Chains A and B, each alone.
Chain A
């Protein structure tokens, strides 16, 4: 083999290696996206979480640092929800069991932040959330901060009240009439995987399929 041929061969091998490496590690994760079953890569370095300071159901500070150094599966719920939110939490419980049964190396921490801190105090959340799994963590806090936090997730909620037999929608951020004591909340119902860098990495739309979600979570974490 001539010296020129050898250099070309080495250059070719190196270029292939660089291509494979970049495919697996580039920031848009195209390689990964094609393999996911029920989730979407949401990783976007330009979309950072705002600084927030909330309180978990054990009355401990819950801020950006609580997402650092570990994987977190996050959702947003409210405890007056009779249908969608209990279903999400049941799905999260099933998902955790599946991951543990598979013996995966990394099981995310499961966190649920309330849309409705006025009614969902840390005490209320502790009783409610731990019913689904003793290690699930509920988070409450300041409504304004929660409203800011949900924005980069693309999460949306609105309150629905009944006035004279008619449904009236109160968008988030808009004050409700003081006389209103009963309301429901319309909301998106995604689960989000937060990376150990504290960034939104992937999202799981409803309906949730725990076995497929477990497949995707294994894939996402192993390719991070």
Chain B
């Protein structure tokens, strides 16, 4: 399956982030984020990844922003008696010391209105906001992975 992998690069918004704060940031780890290559006129795209919660508390992903898109939303596809329902979510739960898989047919981030259809080699930035984590914004760089 063609897909764009997003290399996870933590970029600190404040340059003087000390070591303790960094530890808090690493409480959340993003594995294997990717976007399926899409038609150039695709108005919606699904963003998938695995989110690891290394803390001892349940946390929530409560919002997402994506540069280069009109907006981004938290969504979940549910198979309800054979009908695939797209349901907007107010949050995504990640249990203490647990993982949440964002994958096709399940939890996903809906990227709405891409200014330019992403393709292999393009870059973009995604901001995820969680509860229970002091520094709530994470920034990712989307990069081409051959």
A-to-B contact residues, CB < 8 Å: 79-84, 86-87, 90, 124, 127-129, 131-132, 156, 158, 160, 162, 167, 184-189, 205-207
Q: A81-B44, A83-B104, A188-B84 are in contact. List 14 more A-B contacts (CB 8 A).
A: A81-B86, A82-B111, A83-B105, A84-B84, A86-B38, A90-B1, A131-B38, A160-B86, A162-B88, A186-B80, A186-B86, A187-B83, A189-B84, A206-B82
In the assembled complex, the Cα of A162 lies from the Cα of B88 at a distance in Å of 10
* Chain B residue at minimum C-beta to C-beta distance from A90: B1
B-to-A contact residues, CB < 8 Å: 1, 36, 38-46, 75, 77, 79-80, 82-88, 104-105, 108, 110-111
Contact sample, A vs B, 13 pairs, CB 8 Å cutoff: A79-B42, A79-B43, A82-B108, A83-B75, A83-B86, A83-B104, A90-B1, A156-B83, A184-B86, A185-B86, A186-B80, A186-B84, A188-B83
Q: Are A127 and B86 in contact (CB under 8 A)?
A: no
What are the residues of chain A within 8 A of B80 when measuring CB–CB? 186
In the assembled complex, the Cα of A167 lies from the Cα of B86 at a distance in Å of 11
In the assembled complex, the Cα of A187 lies from the Cα of B110 at a distance in Å of 17
Q: Are B84 and A187 in contact (CB under 8 A)?
A: yes
Q: Are A82 and B44 in contact (CB under 8 A)?
A: yes
What are the residues of chain A within 8 A of B45 when measuring CB–CB? 82
What are the residues of chain B within 8 A of A129 when measuring CB–CB? 39
In the assembled complex, the Cα of A84 lies from the Cα of B105 at a distance in Å of 6
In the assembled complex, the Cα of A162 lies from the Cα of B87 at a distance in Å of 11
Residue of A80, A132, A160, A188 near B43 (CB, 8 A) is: A80
In the assembled complex, the Cα of A187 lies from the Cα of B84 at a distance in Å of 5
In the assembled complex, the Cα of A128 lies from the Cα of B105 at a distance in Å of 20
What are the residues of chain B within 8 A of A128 when measuring CB–CB? 39, 41-42
Tally A-B pairs: CB < 8 A.
76
Q: Are B104 and A87 in contact (CB under 8 A)?
A: yes
What are the residues of chain A within 8 A of B75 when measuring CB–CB? 82-83
What are the residues of chain A within 8 A of B85 when measuring CB–CB? 160, 186
Which 7 A-B pairs give the minimum distances between C-beta atoms? A131-B39, A82-B44, A186-B85, A128-B39, A82-B46, A84-B84, A184-B86
**Residue of B1, B80, B84 with most chain A CB atoms under a 10 A cut-off:** B84
Q: Are B84 and A206 in contact (CB under 8 A)?
A: yes
Q: Are B87 and A83 in contact (CB under 8 A)?
A: no
In the assembled complex, the Cα of A162 lies from the Cα of B41 at a distance in Å of 24
In the assembled complex, the Cα of A175 lies from the Cα of B46 at a distance in Å of 28
B116 → chain A, closest Cβ, in Å?
14
What are the residues of chain B within 8 A of A80 when measuring CB–CB? 43-44
Q: Are A207 and B105 in contact (CB under 8 A)?
A: yes
Residue of B1, B46, B83 near A83 (CB, 8 A) is: B46
What are the residues of chain B within 8 A of A156 when measuring CB–CB? 83
Residue of A83, A131, A158, A185 near B108 (CB, 8 A) is: A83
Q: Are A83 and B42 in contact (CB under 8 A)?
A: no
What are the residues of chain B within 8 A of A86 when measuring CB–CB? 36, 38, 42, 46
What are the residues of chain B within 8 A of A90 when measuring CB–CB? 1, 36
In the assembled complex, the Cα of A87 lies from the Cα of B41 at a distance in Å of 16
Q: Are B41 and A206 in contact (CB under 8 A)?
A: no
